Structures are given as structure tokens and as C-alpha cells.
């Protein structure tokens, strides 16, 4: 694993940092300007405790899966931005990446 982030292929997400840690299932995080879209390894409870903006998708093995998957949990601050459970990861990331 490199310490440097990867980049998504989609031009609309230029500047989004993509991180992958290979475990039993990959730990995936997309870090955008306003917060993160992450796999189920991360905890919304911890995000809330720390005041972070984040949304969780599950059952994903790569970044494309993350964009297609439905959001299953959101932090309180992400909810304030308009991110909702059941929207796609792509919809959530678009909100997270907005200036």
C-alpha cells in the first residue's frame, strides 16, 4: 500500500483522494472537499463523536462499487448537508465534493 492517494477516473471528481487498504475485504475511503464516503469498516458513531462529515456504503470491493452502492448510514453533519440513507454513493460524493 502506498501512502499516496489514488485518483478517481471520473473528471467530475478531480481532487477526490481515494484510499484502499487491502484487508479481508478492502477498506475504502473517498475523501472529498467536505467529507468522506467510506465502506462499512468505519463508524458513523465515531464520526458523530468527532464532528466529521461522512457517509457509509457497504458490500463494496472497489471505487466503482462505492459510487453505485446505496448509502446505509450518514453522520449528523453529512445529514445537514443533504446526504440521506438510500441515495447512491455517487449522489453523496457529488454533495461531498461541492465547493
Tens of pLDDT, residue by residue over 72-89, are: 999 999 999 999 999 999
pLDDT band at residue 37 under the 50/70/90 scheme: very high
Tell me, yes or no, if the pTM score tops 0.85. Answer: yes
Q: Where are the beta strands (DSSP E) in 6-68?
A: 6-7, 17-21, 27-31, 36-38, 54-57
Mean pLDDT over residues 22-37, rounded? 96
CA atoms within 13 A on the CB side of 18: 15
Domains located in the chain, CATH noted: 6-97 (3.30.1980.10)
Taking the CA atoms of 45, 60, 85 and 92 in sequence, report the sign of the dihedral they define. positive
Report CA-CA distances (Å) from 27 to 24, 42, 45, 75, 79: 9, 8, 17, 18, 23
Amino acid at each position: 500500500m502506498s501512502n499516496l492517494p489514488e485518483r478517481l477516473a471520473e473528471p467530475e471528481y478531480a481532487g477526490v483522494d481515494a484510499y484502499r487498504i487491502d484487508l479481508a475485504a478492502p477498506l475504502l475511503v473517498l475523501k472529498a472537499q467536505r467529507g468522506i464516503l467510506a465502506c462499512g469498516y468505519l463508524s458513523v458513531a465515531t464520526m458523530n463523536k468527532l464532528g466529521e462529515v461522512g457517509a457509509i456504503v457497504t458490500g463494496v470491493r472497489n471505487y466503482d462499487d462505492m459510487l453505485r452502492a446505496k448509502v446505509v448510514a450518514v453522520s449528523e453533519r453529512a445529514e445537514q448537508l443533504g446526504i440521506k440513507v438510500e441515495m447512491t454513493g455517487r449522489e453523496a460524493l457529488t454533495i461531498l465534493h461541492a465547493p
